[in-house]
């Protein structure tokens, strides 16, 4: 179980902007949580805080009761936290097969890199010996990134907009893959997404707006709420996104 | 004739575990110590100056020539002139590594001047590895100069590798490509400590439909300094591409000057040059797989220099 207690995050500097405000979350094993909400709401920051890429300015993070707030990225990775980047980095001279073998190195189960590529909809023979560099498209990079997380036997797996750049044909496969991990492992899965089909995989949906949890409940409730809500999600009072002292043009 | 240390040096610079098959000439501390020729490849000592002439008969296929140089004494300055005649339509590999083991306080230096004539339709792969070891204060210096004339339709591939160990190096490479000749240069360099490395490569694309590609990747660590100068000169219908990438770390310096010069309206020349630190996202990605920062850094550098 992953627990966030009063987690806040502000950017550094005198004019630090508050990105996350007092987040409390209890995320259970073998559940899929989808975090959604408007752009700039703090979703990616929350994911990075779980992995240890950003450190919270206040609050605590606990993994199965152990305080991991001060653990660095490597330590958290070794405790079983994984993170699929929204924009995965490229590596000159590193092959797809090598990256996957590195990812699976500490997995007690035998993992076959060919199967991993198949699970993310890539033909293994075409990709295993290719460099993870600019020769791969954005969509290919995303799939390989997801495969690096699937390669590990994780307590907590975070996917930051996994569907971005992935074509419709492969989308179904991706959804199936998430469902399979869900069935097979005890992993807590956290997916940041705006896609209805990903939202449908969720046991619970967390709506994050302006750095606060606006809603957290079963998917049916939130889905209907999102579909009904035709207002805006501004932090200050306004009329459909227009500030009260707005200047009009024309 | 060859002791354990010599064998280690041979392994480092030429991937040789034993005396090589085929033609070879092993030079140690300024003197030729062992030589072998084949039916197709002759090696003749020069009469007017130190060095050898390597003559590969036309149509020789799949043979290799190893010409490693090992320097295991201090206070040596070895200058050698080697000439290679690669006959028409031959296809050979030349491995010319140099290893210096200097435990003394005075310098050890080897300057190799290599002249290649790659005749019509011939294929040459030339591998040059530099390796240095020894804890002494004596400097380990290597200054190779390589001049290649590639005739019509010749294909030349150069692999220039120097990973640590050499205190000072100045590498000059001059290549002229005639009609339809093709060239690929891959250069890999890592300097650390107070090391200095300079690499100048000038390629003249003087033949119609000649093409050249230079891929240079280097890592500069500690207080080391690297200087690159590449010039692709297109004086005919030709294609040329320079890609140079450097990773800079610590207090190192990298000065890179990629230059392209066109003297013909059908010359297509491109240069790309980049110097930068290891991207933090790359480190974070590998750390998120359980590697420490140090391991992540090593993995990135190893891949980059592969």
Domain range list for chain B: 4-280
How many helices (H) and strands (E) would you count in chain A?
Answer: 9, 10
Condensed to tens digits (0 to 9), the pLDDT of residues B201-243 reads 999 999 999 999 999 999 999 999 999 999 999 999 999 999 9
In angstroms, what separates the C-alpha of B15 from chain A's closest C-alpha?
21
CA distance A180 to A69: 30
Catalogue all structural domains in chain A, each as residue range(s) with its CATH number. 2-92+152-228 (3.40.50.300)
In angstroms, what separates the C-alpha of A102 from chain B's closest C-alpha?
8
pLDDT of residue A1: 94
Is the pTM value of this prediction over 0.90? Answer: no
Condensed to tens digits (0 to 9), the pLDDT of residues A33-47 reads 999 999 989 999 999
pLDDT of residue A244: 63
Condensed to tens digits (0 to 9), the pLDDT of residues B251-295 reads 999 999 989 999 999 999 999 999 999 999 999 999 999 999 999
Higher-confidence position of A118 and B56:
B56
Nearest to B79 by CA among B130, B30, B128, B44: B30
In angstroms, what separates the C-alpha of A159 from chain B's closest C-alpha?
13
Write down the residue that tokens 């590639």 correspond to.
Answer: B150
The predicted complex's ipTM stands at: 0.90
pLDDT of residue B94: 95
In angstroms, what separates the C-alpha of B217 from chain A's closest C-alpha?
10
HSE-up of B219 (CA within 13 Å, CB side)? 21
Residue A148 has pLDDT above 70, yes or no: yes
A74/B303 CB distance under 8 A: no
Contacting A with CB below 8 Å, chain B residues are 217, 245, 279, 281-282, 284-293, 299-300, 302-306
Residue B299 has pLDDT above 60, yes or no: yes
Higher-confidence position of B202 and B7:
B202
Chain B residue numbers touching A91 (CB-CB < 8 A): 282, 300, 303-304
Chain A residue numbers touching B284 (CB-CB < 8 A): 53, 73, 89
Mean pLDDT score, A175-199:
89
Chain B residue numbers touching A75 (CB-CB < 8 A): none
Higher-confidence position of A188 and B138:
A188
pLDDT of residue A197: 85
Mean pLDDT score, A62-89:
97
Residue B152 DSSP one-character state = T
Considering CB atoms only, which of B245, B288, B300 is closest to A73?
B288
Lowest mean pLDDT, pick from A84-98, A220-234, B76-90, B275-289? A220-234
Structure tokens at A244: 């009260």
């Amino acid at each position: 179980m992953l627990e966030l207690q009063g987690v806040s995050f502000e950017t550094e500097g005198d004019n630090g902007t508050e990105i996350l405000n007092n987040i409390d979350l209890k995320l259970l094993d073998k559940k899929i949580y989808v975090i959604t909400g408007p752009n700039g709401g703090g979703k990616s920051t929350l994911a990075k805080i779980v992995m240890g890429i950003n450190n919270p300015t206040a609050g605590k993070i606990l993994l199965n009761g152990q305080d991991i707030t001060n653990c660095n990225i490597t330590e958290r990775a070794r405790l079983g936290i994984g993170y699929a980047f929204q924009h995965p980095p490229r590596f000159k001279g590193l092959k797809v097969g090598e990256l996957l073998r590195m990812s699976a190195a500490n997995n007690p189960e035998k993992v076959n890199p060919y199967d991993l590529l198949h699970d993310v909809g890539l033909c293994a023979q075409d990709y295993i010996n290719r460099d993870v560099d600019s020769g791969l498209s954005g969509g290919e990079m995303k799939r390989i990134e997801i495969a690096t997380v699937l390669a590990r036997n994780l307590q907590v797996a975070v996917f930051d907009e996994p569907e971005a750049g992935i074509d419709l044909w492969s989308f179904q496969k991706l959804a199936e893959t998430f469902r399979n991990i869900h069935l097979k492992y005890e992993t807590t899965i956290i997916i940041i997404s705006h896609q209805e089909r990903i939202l449908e995989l969720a046991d619970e949906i967390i709506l994050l707006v302006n750095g606060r949890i606006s809603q957290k409940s079963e998917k049916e409730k939130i889905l209907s709420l999102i579909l009904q809500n035709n207002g805006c999600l501004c932090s200050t009072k306004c009329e459909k996104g227009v500030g009260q002292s707005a200047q009009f043009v024309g | 004739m060859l002791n354990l240390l010599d064998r280690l040096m041979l392994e480092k610079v030429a991937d040789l575990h034993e005396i090589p098959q085929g033609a070879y000439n092993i030079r140690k501390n300024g003197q030729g110590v062992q030589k072998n020729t084949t039916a197709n490849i002759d090696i003749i000592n020069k009469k007017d100056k130190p060095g050898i002439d390597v003559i590969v008969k036309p149509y020789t296929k799949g043979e290799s020539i190893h010409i490693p140089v090992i320097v295991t004494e201090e206070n040596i300055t070895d200058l050698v002139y080697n000439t290679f005649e690669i006959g028409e339509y031959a296809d050979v590999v030349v491995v010319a590594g140099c290893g210096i083991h200097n435990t003394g306080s005075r310098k050890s230096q080897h300057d190799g001047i290599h002249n290649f004539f790659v005749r019509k339709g011939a294929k040459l792969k030339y591998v040059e590895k530099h390796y240095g070891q020894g804890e002494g204060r004596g400097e380990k210096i290597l200054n190779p100069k390589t001049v290649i004339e590639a005739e019509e339709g010749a294909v030349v591939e150069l692999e220039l590798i120097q990973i640590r160990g050499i205190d000072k190096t100045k590498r000059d490479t001059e290549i002229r490509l005639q009609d339809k000749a093709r060239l690929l240069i891959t250069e890999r360099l890592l300097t650390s400590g107070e090391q200095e490395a300079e690499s100048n490569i000038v390629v003249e694309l003087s033949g119609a439909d000649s093409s050249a590609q230079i891929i240079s990747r280097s890592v500069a660590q500690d207080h080391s300094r690297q200087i690159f100068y590449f010039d692709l000169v297109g004086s005919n219908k030709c294609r040329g591409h320079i890609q140079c990438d450097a990773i800079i770390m610590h207090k190192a310096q990298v000065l890179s000057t990629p230059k392209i010069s066109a003297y013909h309206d059908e010359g297509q020349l491109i240069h790309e040059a980049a110097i930068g630190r290891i991207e933090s996202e790359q480190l974070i990605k590998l750390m998120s797989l359980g590697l420490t920062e140090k391991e992540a850094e090593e993995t990135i550098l190893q891949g980059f220099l592969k």
